[in-house]
Structure 1
C-alpha cells in the first residue's frame, strides 16, 4: 500500500470520526433530550443536562468502539491463524511427498533418512500421525517379506535387517501412541536379528513374522498384548521384557498376549513378564524361563516345559507342574 493511499484512508477515517462526534454531541444529544431539555428554564440546568447526555453517549460509543476493535482483532487473529495453518499444511505436504519418494530409493541410507523424516512429520502434525505410522508399517511389510522356507533357516543366521528396516522399527517403537485408532500391523514380516531394545510396541500384530534372534533384552522394552501367534522367535533375547497381557484374566483375545504355536526354541525369556499370555502349542525346547512370570498363562502344558530351563523362581500357572528342572544341553544359537 502506497503512502498516498494510506494518507487518504487515514484522512477519510478522521473526517468520519469528526462528523460522528459532531452528530453525537450536537443533534443526537438534543434529540434524545427532546422535550425534557426544552422544559428546563435555566441555561445552567439545560447545559448540565446536555453534558450528562453527552457523557452517557460518549461512554456508550466508547464501549461500542471497544467491542468493534476486539471483534476486528479477533477476526484478524483468526485470519492470521488460518493463513499460518494453510502455510504449515502446505509445508507438511511438501515434506511428506519428499519423504514418501525417498521410501522407493534403492539406497538403504536414503530410505532410513526418509523414514526418520516421516517420523518427525508425525510428531509435528497430529492429524497426520496415524496415517504416517500406518504408511511406515506398510512399507516394512512390503520390503521385509519372509523368504521361502527352504532358505529362511540359513538366512536368519547371518546378518541383520537392512538399515531402512531398523530405522522403521525405531520410529515405530518411539512414536507417540496417543489417539491411535488401529493396532500396528507387522504380521508376516521378516525381522530376524533386529534390535528391539527399549522400543514400545504394545498391541502390535507380529503373527507369522520371523523374529528369530531379535535382541530386546531389558525392562524398557514394551511388548505387552502383542500377537506373536505362529511367529518364529528361535534364539530371541527377550530377557526382562514385558510380554504380559493387558488383562491377564480376560477371556477376550484382543486383551491378551498371543503366543499360540510360536517357535521359542532356545529363546531367552528369563525374568520376562508373561502374565496372561495364551501359549497353546508354543514350542519351548531349550528356552530359558528362569525367574519368568507365567502366572495366569493359558494353554500351557507341563510337557511343553520338559526341556525348558526353569528354576524355583519361575512362576507357573495353575495346573502346570515341573517334576524336575531341566539341566541338559543348550540350544545352539548363532547369536
Structure 2
C-alpha cells in the first residue's frame, strides 16, 4: 500500500513539472527559441542600408570639403594676383608727372599694406624713399611741402607698426617744415587720437621747423642736428632718443617724456618745458639759458657744462643732477654752499681723488 502511494505521488509531481515548466531540457540547459529568418533578413537589410547611407553622407561631405578648399585656393590665388597687379600699377604711378596720379599711387600702396601685411615693410620702405627723394631740398620760397609728400608721410606715420618687422622710417636730411603729424586729444574722432608712429625713426639733419609732432611716438628716434625750432612736441614720447646738437629753440615740449634722451649740445633756449620729463637725460653743454625749469623733472640729468644762465630753477633741482665747474648757474644757486660742495666733489672725482 505504501509503495503504491509513493508511485502515485511521483507521477503527480512529474505531471506538475511538465504543466508548469515544460519538459526539462537535455543536459540541464534550456533551449533558446528558434530565430525568425524573415525578421533576421529584414534587420540585416536595414543595417546594410544604414551603413550605405552613412558612407554616402561621409563621401558627399568629403567631396564638398575638397571642392570648398579648391575654391578657396583659387580665390586666394586670384586675390594675390590682383594685389600684385595693384602694387605694380601703384609703384608705376609714383613716377608720373601729375600730382593727382602720384597721390592715387600712394593711397593704393596704403591699401596694399593693409590687405597684405607681409608686404608692409617693403611698401613702407618705398614710401620712405619717395619722401627722401621728393623732400630732399627745401621747399621753394613761400611754398609748402608738396601734397604727395604729405600723403606719403601720413601713411608712414599712421601705419600699423606691429607689421614693421625690420622696417625703420628713414627720413634723414628731409625738409618737412610745418608738417602736421600730431594728435588732438579733445577730438571725438578716434583716429585723431592715434600717435604718429616714428619709433626709432632716422631723422638726422631733418628740417622739422614748426612741425606738429604732438603725442608722437619718437622713442629711440635719431634726431641729431635736426631743426625742431618752434615745433610742437607736447606729450610726445621721446625716451632714449638722440637729439645731439638739435635746434629746439621755442619748441613746445609741455608734458613730453625725454627720459635718458641724448641732448648734448642741444639748443633749448625759450623752449616750453612745463612738466617735461628730463630725468636721466644727457644735457652736457646744452643751452638752457633763461628757461623756466621750476616744473621740469631733471632728477639724474647730466648738466655738466650746461648753460643755465638766468634760468628759473630751484637749488634742490640742481642738487639732484650731475654738475661740474663748467656748469653755468644763476648766481644765487652758484653761491649756495651745498652746490659748491657738489661741484668740488665732482671735480675731485674727475681727477681721480
Task: State the 1:323 CA deviation.
Answer: 6.9
Distance between the aligned counterparts of 2:154 and 2:271, measured in 1?
27
2:294 aligned residue (293, 305, 312): 312
2:246 aligned residue (256, 262, 270): 262
CA contact (8 A) 1:293 1:314 kept: yes
CA contact (8 A) 2:161 2:197 kept: no
The equivalent residue for 2:204 is 207
Task: State the 1:78 CA deviation.
Answer: 0.8
The equivalent residue for 1:106 is 97
2:217 aligned residue (194, 198, 222): 222
CA contact (8 A) 1:290 1:311 kept: yes
CA contact (8 A) 2:225 2:246 kept: yes
Unaligned runs of 5+ in 2: 1-32, 184-195, 314-353
CA contact (8 A) 2:289 2:310 kept: no
Deviates further, 168-177 or 48-57 = 48-57
TM-score (norm 2): 0.67
Deviates further, 48-57 or 84-93 = 48-57
Pairs aligned (count): 265
Distance between the aligned counterparts of 1:116 and 1:319, measured in 2?
44
The equivalent residue for 2:127 is 136
Distance between the aligned counterparts of 1:205 and 1:50, measured in 2?
85
CA contact (8 A) 1:173 1:200 kept: yes
Higher-Rg structure is 2
The equivalent residue for 2:155 is 171
The equivalent residue for 2:236 is 241
Distance between the aligned counterparts of 2:241 and 2:288, measured in 1?
23
Gap change, CA 1:77 and 1:319, over 3 Å in 2: closer
TM-score (norm 1): 0.70
Is residue 188 from structure 1 mapped to residue 188 from structure 2 by the alignment?
A: no
Task: State the 1:63 CA deviation.
Answer: 2.2
Task: State the 1:168 CA deviation.
Answer: 0.7
1:289 aligned residue (273, 296, 311): 273
Unaligned runs of 5+ in 1: 1-40, 246-255, 328-335
Distance between the aligned counterparts of 1:127 and 1:104, measured in 2?
24
2:71 aligned residue (73, 80, 83): 80
Task: State the 1:196 CA deviation.
Answer: 1.6
Structure number with the bigger relative contact order (C-alpha 8 A, sep ≥ 6) is: 1
CA RMSD, aligned part only?
2.7
CA contact (8 A) 2:283 2:301 kept: no
2:283 aligned residue (300, 307, 320): 300
1:276 aligned residue (251, 260, 263): 260
Deviation per residue, 1:65-117 (Å, 9 max, x gap): 22211211111111111111122122212222221121112232322222122
Gap change, CA 1:325 and 1:62, over 3 Å in 2: same
Deviation per residue, 1:123-175 (Å, 9 max, x gap): 12223222212211121122222x4xxxx6xx687432111110011111111
Secondary structure of the 2:228 match is: coil
The equivalent residue for 1:68 is 59
CA contact (8 A) 2:264 2:286 kept: no
